[in-house]
Amino acid sequence: MSAPNCLRGLVRPSATIPISAPRSAAPRAAPIGLARPAPFSTTALNARRQDPNQQGGGGKGHVRQGKKLKLGKFKKTAVESKGKPPLPGERRAYRKRITLSNDNAIPVPWLKDIGADGLANAQNIARVLALPEEVQDQLRASEAFKPTQCWGMFRKPSLLVRKESVDLMNRIQTSVDNKQTLRLVVTGDKVTGKSMMLLQAQAHAFLNNWIVIHVPEGQELTTACTEYAPIPNTDPVQYMQPVYILKLLQSIKRANEKILAKTYTMTGHPELPQNITPNTPLLALCNAAKEPDSAWPVFQALWNELTAHGTAANRPPILLSLDGLAHVMRVSDYRSPAFERIHSHDLALVRLFTDTLGGAVQFPAGGAVLAATSRNNAPRSPSMELSLAQREAEQAKREEVPQKDPFFRGYDDRVEAVLRSVQVIRLGGVSKLEARALMEYWAASGMLRATVDEKAVTEKWTLAGSGVLGEMERAALLTMRI
Amino acid sequence: MASPANFLRLCLRTSRPLSNLRTAAVQQSTLRRQLSTTQWRPAPSQDEAANQEAQDEFDRVFRNPGEFLKTLVRDENVPDEERQLAMRMLDDWKKVPPDMQRQFDRLTEEVDQESARLRRPVQPKRDSFWNTEEADSDLITSEIGEDDFEEDDIMALGHAKLEEHREFREYARIAVWEMPLLSKLAKPFQPPAEDEVLRFRYTTYLGEFHPADRKVVVEFCPRDLPLTEPQQLKLKKLAGARYNPEKDIIKISCERFEHQAQNKRYLGDLVDKMIATAKDPTDMFEDIPLDLRHHKVKPQVKFPKEWYLTEQRKKELEARRQQALLLDEQKRTEGTLVDGVQTIQQALLTMKAVEETVPVLRGRSPRGRR
């Protein structure tokens, strides 16, 4: 070994010294005190004056001396930073925030709160009703409100009761009365109020003290944006999403606190981290999940308790709902250990939902499984589209039921099995009467500066493609024309 | 003025036979040669000897009828009757006075000399650009010296114009006098009979050679054939992309062979074969669905009947509007009509009243706050 290398052995290792570079000539030639390895150069090494601030070695690399070659003709001058950049997640939180009231809006004097059967009453068709404070909190906890909806413009969140919503609530109510499970998919064109229909169903459920489990976005489960892990002892292998399930458990707990406190477990759950004995409130069971690791077993225990038969009198009806159905009706973006894509129905939570939608699980006290399709953010799912079209044609007793294209490869049997016997509600535009009620509400809130007469209503109704609600909002509410 | 050679060429132009050209083209297209550096040469035909003889006959120029008759008499292939006739004609020729005979010789020589240029084969120059130097034989006038005015006649262009007029008038005469006579040849339309299922389509380019004139197309509807339902379905599956589900017609074309008749025969045989296969019960293709991916059905959008503004509809709409107006008026008198602007103004008035009651901190006058 040469002398410099021997000497280097005595120096205490630090980030400034190249640890092993026996072959490079530069370190050998350089004095030991020189911190950085010399850059590649044909000129002799000139010992630069060491900047005491740069002694740390990190940060800026080689600085070229002399004239610099400018490559671009027009160089952008560096923009001086204006203040602190937003913290991670801050922008998203701003984007996704939900404002439910506007103090500048004028309170509508004739606005009434929804009663327990307010949404199922046919007399309320074409009326705007307000959500009670308590239900607002519950709906917010279950993430039923969406940032794209115009809640932030009015004094109080209120709903337009449509013909379809009364129809849906009646169907749900009938199935609950008969202790059956309604399985239904809400579909329709863009901005026709599909998510709003789910929200109305949830409001109805909260008003009647049912338990609501709501998955606000199907895509959060399948676009590989949350953690996943295989569930041991399952064949074929299923996957849990612990972080998401913990979040869901917490939202279930917050939304249904009162009812869960009054419902008790039937069996003990010794396998959970916190030993749950029989006759414990379900709220305590929910509280047992403190960490993602225990989320899935707790959720499964809760699900088993809720769907346990034989104690029908003690169990409340359940509403299970999901928005963005197309995302859970396809092969997910998750990969198995063999790097094959996992089918969405192999994800435990999705499977739980699809099994219920397919009719494999019946709620003891009845209830409903609702799913809403999305039009703006939806992957193509040919099987789902075909199945829904078929169900619709069958329900309308049309002569021509659409058939599979025998030469198309993209169909999915599992999806078809799930959607074989669901009911379908197709949403379209509202009637002129409903449009008028809505526009009167807007005008009374001071958000529409016009006289709401037949002419104005017809104008907006026609502009909105025969009363598509989102388009009516766009035409009347969201314009800057005053 | 046009030279005699050009004049002759103009005369010849109309009577130029096209058949040689056509056969040459056909020969060329059918012969697919391998890549080779040697020049292409047609294979010698069967009756080469006869051909050669005919060629000789054309090549040799007789100066007068006497010479021609002499060779005819000497020829061994000529039958006896013709030879005797030729001998008689030769005797007659010998009786013609010698200056007349010499005149004949001179005339033949002159024509021969003048037409020598024409008979020479025209070969495109090697280094010419698109054969620009070549005279265009399709022009009515010869291009050479046509602008020279020699004060004895109108210009060549004028002659050409006159010729054009003559042509127009000829066709006009045909249209007026001869065309009406064609109606005598018209036959009444007979719809195809029950057993005439196949419909053939041919193409003609009015005698001109065209690569597509051999193409034959056959169309038929599987329902017209004496087949059962499953057999018809099998026939449709056999036809593949040639089946049109919208018209329910199978359409097959053929231009594989050189002549129309051959192509038609092939199509007829093919249809027979298809029918025989469709009737064959060993494999009815039940596991294969009918493939219609080749055919996109274009939806025919029509104006809805309900949208037509008939008198009745107009009245209906008018009544509805009237009713709506009445309803609005009634609401206005009742005071239940919601007006956005009014609501805002009222709200602003009430809000001012609220503002006045803002509490002020003790010990400070309102002026001091400013």
SS3 for A355-419, per residue?
Answer: HHHHCCCCCCCCEEEEEECCCCCCCCCHHHHHHHHHHHHHHCCCCCCCCCCCCCCCCCHHHHHHC
What pLDDT score was predicted for residue B121?
74
User: What's the DSSP call for residue A151?
Assistant: G
3-class secondary structure, A36? coil
Decide if pLDDT at A166 tops 90: yes
Instruction: Please tell me if residue B319 touches chain A, with a CB cutoff of 8 Å.
Output: no
Q: Are B144 and B6 in contact (CB under 8 A)?
A: yes
Rounded distance, CA B29 to CA B259, Å?
13
Q: How many other CB atoms are found less than 10 A from the CB of residue A428? A: 15
Categorize the per-residue pLDDT at A287 as very low, low, confident or very high, splitting at 50, 70 and 90: very high
- Residue B282 is predicted with a pLDDT of 95
- A451:B347 CB<8 A: no
Instruction: Using alpha carbons, list the distances in angstroms from residue B246 to A105, A404, B221, B250, B296.
Output: 60, 19, 12, 11, 9
- What pLDDT shows up at residue B9? 52
Per-residue pLDDT of chain B (370 residues; tens, 9 = 90+): 444 455 555 444 444 444 444 444 444 444 444 555 555 555 655 555 555 555 555 556 677 888 888 888 888 888 888 888 988 988 988 888 889 888 988 998 898 888 888 777 767 677 777 777 666 666 666 667 777 788 888 888 888 899 999 999 999 999 999 999 999 999 999 999 999 999 999 999 988 889 999 999 999 999 999 999 999 999 999 999 999 999 999 999 999 999 999 999 999 999 999 999 999 999 999 999 999 999 999 999 999 998 999 999 999 999 999 999 999 999 999 989 999 999 999 999 988 766 555 566 666 555 544 4
B286 vs A contacts (CB less than 8 Å): none
Residues of B in Cβ contact (< 8 Å) with A106: 343-344, 347
* A64-113 per-position pLDDT tens digit: 677 777 777 776 777 777 788 899 999 999 999 999 999 999 999 999 99
Residues of A in contact with B328 (CB under 8 A): 453-454
Q: What is the ipTM of this complex?
A: 0.72
Question: By the CB < 8 Å criterion, does B341 face chain A?
Answer: yes
Residue A49 and residue A6 in contact, taking contact as beta carbons nearer than 8 Å: no
The verdict on A296 touching B (C-beta cutoff 8 Å) is no
Distance from CA of B133 to the nearest CA of A (A): 56
Pairwise CB contact (< 8 Å): B340 & A453: no
Strands A229-230 and A239-240, by their bridges, are antiparallel
pLDDT the model gives residue A369: 97
Contacts of A454 in chain B (CB under 8 A): 321, 324-325, 327-328
Q: What torsion, rounded to 10 degrees, do the Cα atoms A241, A246, A252, A253 define?
A: 160
Cα B178 to Cα B194: distance, rounded to the nearest angstrom = 37
Q: Do B337 and A448 touch (CB under 8 A)?
A: no
Which residue among B324, B339, B341 places its CB closest to the CB of A454? B324
pLDDT at A392: 96
Q: Shortest CB distance from B340 goes to which of A407, A450, A454?
A: A450
Selecting from B289, B327, B337 the residue whose C-beta is nearest the C-beta of A451 gives B337
Rounded to 10°, the helix B340-355/A432-444 angle is 30
pLDDT at A43 over 60: no
Mean pLDDT in residue range A364-391: 95
Residues of A in contact with B321 (CB under 8 A): 454
DSSP class per residue in A195-248: HHHHHHHHHHHHHTT-EEEEES-THHHHSS-S--EEPTT-SS--EE-HHHHHHH
Cβ-defined contact of B340 to A451 (cutoff 8 Å) = yes
Considering only residues A20 and A286, tell me which one the structure prediction assigns the higher pLDDT: A286
Closest in A106, A447, A451 to B339, CB measured: A451
- Which residues make Cβ contacts (< 8 Å) with residue B118, sequence separation at least 6? B5, B8, B9, B12
Contact A407 B343 (CB under 8 A): no
* Selected residue of A111, A407, A451 to mutate for chain B interface (largest B Cβ count, 10 A): A451
SS3 annotation, chain B: CCCHHHHHHHHHHHCCCCHHHHHHHHHHHHCCCCCCCCCCCCCCCCCHHHHHHHHHHHHCCCCCHHHHHHHHHHCCCCCHHHHHHHHHHHHHHHHCCHHHHHHHHHHHHHHHHHCHHHHCCCCCCCCCCCCCCCCCCCCCCCCCCCCCCCCCCCCHHHHHHHHHHHHHHHHHHHHHHHHHHHHHHCCCCCCCCCCCCCEEEECCCCCCCCCCCCCEEEEECHHHCCCCHHHHHHHHHHHHHHEECCCCEEEEEECCCCCHHHHHHHHHHHHHHHHHHHHCCCCCCCCCCCCCCCCCCCCCCCCCHHHCCCHHHHHHHHHHHHHHHHHHHHHHHHCCCCEHHHHHHHHHHHHHHHHCCCCCCCCCCCCCCC
Say what the pLDDT of residue A455 is: 92
Give pLDDT, residue B333. Answer: 94
pLDDT at B369: 46
CA distance B328 to chain A (A): 6
Average pLDDT over all residues of chain A: 88
pLDDT given at position A473:
94
Region A256-274: what's the mean pLDDT? Answer: 92
CB neighbours of residue B321 within 10 Å: 13
CA-CA distance, A36 to A14, in Å (whole number)?
12
How many beta-carbon pairs under 8 angstroms link A with B? 47
From CA A309, how far away is CA A315, in angstroms rounded? 9
According to DSSP, residue A347 is labeled B
